[in-house]
Amino acid sequence: MRFPFITLSVFSWLCLTVAGGSLSKPGCPEKCGNVTIPYPFGVGSKCSAKCVIDSSECKESAYTIICQNSSTPFLSIIKMEVVKISLYGTLIVKLPVSPMNCSGTQTTVPVPISLDGSPFTISTHYNSFIVLGCKSSVWLRSEMMETVGGCTAICDGNSTDTSCSGVNCCQTTIPERPQELQYTYRSIEASNKSGFCGYAFPADKKWIQSAYTMHSGLNQDPLNPYDVGFGFAQLVIDWEHIGSEDFHDNTICKVLPSYRSDEYYDDYYMPRYDPTGNNYVSSTRYCSCRDGFEGNPYLGREGCVDVNECSNSTFNICGSDGTCINTNGGYICRKRSAVKIVIICVGSAAGGLVLLLGSFFCHQNY
């Protein structure tokens, strides 16, 4: 008799951790300090991937990480400290921040980051352009010096709101996939004794909430905030590394619909969000292992390995009445046969009856 089978694959919602080998290039360090450095990024040029844009090699190895003092990673191409790199196509860096000098005339200032000639863009989805304080009007400029946004916060000295929603702090949307930004500001009131009129910078929308608690000077005078220790803001950057290398069949690459072009319509799919909720996901395009596989898709054939769903009961739905059999990219549940169970039960009952009768006759003979 053949026993029934149930074949299952791993669903995208199943939260699986990467339990395989190193995420870095073989023979290369996987971490710098507490920050994991997954390929295509790498510590030093020999451990990082070549950067290719529009079939041309980048002017510099964009994925090279400098591990300063063996503990602090810096992205070489922009000389900024890296907080986190995600295989979902994002990284977080520390952007230098400085206060605005008070000026009654319009002053244009470049944001101190240039991603030109690299596969990186400032994330539109996760960042906003933040204006701390209500003493200046700020206009955000594109790379072509076009006005693409701006805001002026309302002053309220009694407010304790730290949500940056228009009172003592405001924010405006960043244009799609910029590699450079500039802003123009004009002070509308005289400064306090610090000589500064607040701050203006792009930053992670979630991170700005914690900035108020990290730097007390930002809420001591919310109308005109200044903190000597406030020198950096966390900025989310989208990165991509697609088309420069051959990927294995276990890899799938995704592109946001708004980022599609005719050359990609067959090969790329809607991005999926990180099921663990621990990572930001690229607003442009990125690659990942197919369902049922885990690892680093950018390492080629050896990057995505099969997940053994049978090693942990939480990874499969076979239950106690089934046997889990791992397959390449999925698993099979072999259910126990109902007929076999009935036979076992009947056989057990008959055996018990024979023993009972035998005991009875033995008792009568003695």
Q: Which residue has the tokens 């009947």?
A: 346
CA distance 189 to 328: 67
Question: Could you tell me if residue 186 is inside a domain?
Answer: yes
208: domain CATH number is 2.60.120
**How many Cβ atoms are within 10 Å of 240's Cβ, its own excluded?**
20
Same domain, 125 and 38: no
Considering the domain architecture, whether residues 76 and 216 belong to the same structural domain is answered as: no
Give residue 233's pLDDT.
Answer: 97
Q: What end-to-end distance do the CA atoms of the chain give, in Å? A: 46
Quote the CA–CA distance of 290 and 10 in Å, as a whole number.
9
Q: Rounded mean pLDDT of the chain?
A: 79
Same domain membership, residue 221 and residue 198: yes
Tokens 């995704």 belong to: 254
Residue 21: inside a domain: no
**Residue-level pLDDT at 53:** 73
**Given 238, 260, 284, which residue is the final one in a domain?**
238
What pLDDT was estimated at residue 220?
85
Q: Is 314 helix (H, G, I), strand (E, B) or coil?
A: helix
Supply 211's token pair.
């900035």
pLDDT score for 142: 84
Residue 195: what pLDDT? 81
Residue 268: its pLDDT value, please? 36
- Tell me: pLDDT of 273 over 80: no
- Predicted local distance difference test score (pLDDT) of residue 262: 39
Instruction: Tell me, yes or no, whether 175 lies in a domain.
Output: yes
Domain shared by 144 and 94, yes or no: yes
Whether residue 103 is found in the same domain as residue 178: yes
Domain boundary among 206, 238, 270: 238
Which segment, 1-10, 193-202, 261-270, is predicted with the most confidence on average? 193-202
Domain of 125 in residue numbering reads as 90-238
Question: Does 159 lie in the same domain as 256?
Answer: no
Specify the pLDDT at position 267. 37
Q: Are residues 75 and 96 in the same domain?
A: no
In this predicted model, which residue has the larger pLDDT, 339 or 284? 284
If asked whether residues 66 and 108 sit together in one domain, one would say no
Whether 26 maps to a domain, the answer reads no
pTM (two decimals): 0.79
So what's the pLDDT on residue 183?
Answer: 96
How much is the pLDDT for 218?
Answer: 86
Task: Report the pLDDT value the prediction gives residue 338, as an integer from 0 to 100.
Answer: 46
pLDDT digits (tens, 9 = 90+) for 181-237: 999 999 987 655 668 899 999 999 989 888 887 888 888 888 889 999 999 999 999
Q: Taking 80 as the threshold, does the pLDDT of residue 159 lie above it?
A: yes
Where does a domain end: 238, 269, 293? 238
Summarised one tens digit per residue, pLDDT across range 318-335 is 988 889 999 988 999 998
pLDDT of residue 357: 45
55 lies in some domain: yes
Instruction: Report pLDDT digits (tens) over 25-74.
Output: 999 999 999 999 999 999 999 999 988 776 677 766 899 999 999 999 99
Residue 256's pLDDT band, with cuts at 50, 70 and 90, is low
pLDDT band for 354, please (50, 70, 90 cuts).
very low
Q: Are residues 228 and 360 in the same domain?
A: no
Top-ranked range on mean pLDDT: pick from 132-141, 216-225, 291-300, 345-354: 132-141
When computed from its CA atoms, the radius of gyration of the chain, rounded to whole angstroms, is 30
pLDDT over 70, % of the chain: 73
Q: Does any domain span residue 346?
A: yes
296 in a structural domain: yes
| pLDDT exceeds 80 at position 364 | no
Structure tokens at 303: 């990057």
- Does the residue 20 lie in any domain? no
Q: Answer yes or no: do 282 and 251 share one domain.
A: yes
Give residue 356's pLDDT band: very low, low, confident or very high (50, 70, 90).
Answer: very low
Report the distance separating Cα 166 and Cα 66, nearest Å: 39
Same-domain pairing of 126 and 207: yes
Phi, psi (5° rounding) for residue 56?
-115, 145
224 with 165, same domain: the answer is: yes
274 — pLDDT class (breaks 50, 70, 90): low
* pLDDT tens digit sequence for 89-144: 999 999 999 999 888 889 999 999 999 989 999 999 899 999 999 999 999 998 78
Counting the structural domains of the chain, the total is: 4
What residues are paired with 122 via a beta bridge? 237
pLDDT of residue 47: 95
